[in-house]
Amino acid sequence: MTVNAIPVVDFLEKSQSQLIVDVRSPIEFFKGHLPNAVNIPLFEDSERAEIGTLYKQQGKDTAVNRGLEIVSPKMTSFVNQVRTLATNKQVFVYCFRGGMRSNSFAWLMNTSGLNACIMKGGYKAFRNYVLDYFSYKKNLILLGGKTGSGKTDILKKLNAMSLQTLDLEKLAHHKGSAFGAINEQKQQPQQAFEHQLYSELSVLNSMQPIIIEDESKSIGFNKIPQNLWEQMKQATIIKLEIPFELRVQKLVDDYTTVDIEALKLCVVKIAQQLGSLNTKLCLHYLDEKNLSDVARLSLLYYDKAYEFSYKKKKQPIIQLSSDTIDATINALKVKEIINTLN
């Protein structure tokens, strides 16, 4: 039975709301996979390593025979898993290159009465497609502002106002600063982050404004893809100017329920930048649960670094001053500017 192999674009379009099965090993899947794919590995990590060694040392035939020995007892389980997960008989399958693993799995599904097709070129083709996608021109507008300006809250309000937004920090599970990992999920591997980013961007209209936060290239250990980063460096920035004490209060509100010891660890991370005296003061204030003064000292460092970074920017910057931290009011002001830009 011939297995139907379709190009990446068709695979992504036709597999929407359908079962997508990644048959690579768990470690391959962990490093990166198609959004919404489930992992039904043909081989476990150790099995894949064993077959790879056999292939190198004894040749293809020996490796294939060993692969058949490993897979044969699993075949019924594979079929049962897919039948349980599929909303209909349709299933979309891929491996790394669209080779033996996905072809074998899809053949088994078709033989069992299901309707399976594979991705031509496999995961490798999808990776190239995603990386190319980030180079396509997008109408980006950056929302800037010093730490504590409430940019994430404003993005949420803009989204509620039917504007297109993309929350990079949410996708990265990190707020970008030394305190950024607090109350966040564990960050994903780089490829997985890029695929989620692609998934969010691909449903937006690239011709219409897409508002994202003005980030540095690294958000925790995730990095903005280079082609998208180059576009961000040219995009217009709407730079919020919020009074210092309002930003202090915003940080206090955001971190008031955070464990003090976790905050201490974050302070230590920026000890060199804060200086010995300010670091000691911050740790002392944390012992006293005096978050306001910790925020003030931290903002002195972050504000200085922020202004230094802005001196190097070459794209258009629109200043937006506000005397409130209210996200709805500030979102309306941002929206007015975006309408003017349009």
State the Rg of the chain over Cα. 25
CA distance 32 to 233: 26
Which one of the listed residues 95, 117, 266, 282 is annotated catalytic?
Answer: 95
Q: Is the distance from CB of 163 to CB of 208 less than 8 angstroms?
A: no
CA 334 to chain centre: 25
Report which secondary-structure segment, H or E, holds 144: strand 140-145
Distance of alpha carbon 56 from alpha carbon 69, whole angstroms: 18
What does residue 325 show for φ and ψ, rounded to 5 degrees? -100, 5
Q: Angle formed by the axes of helices 291-311 and 276-287, to 10°?
A: 140
- Identify whether 282 is a catalytic site residue: no
Question: What single-letter DSSP state applies at residue 19?
Answer: E
Contact 147, 122 (CB under 8 A): no
Catalytic residues: 95
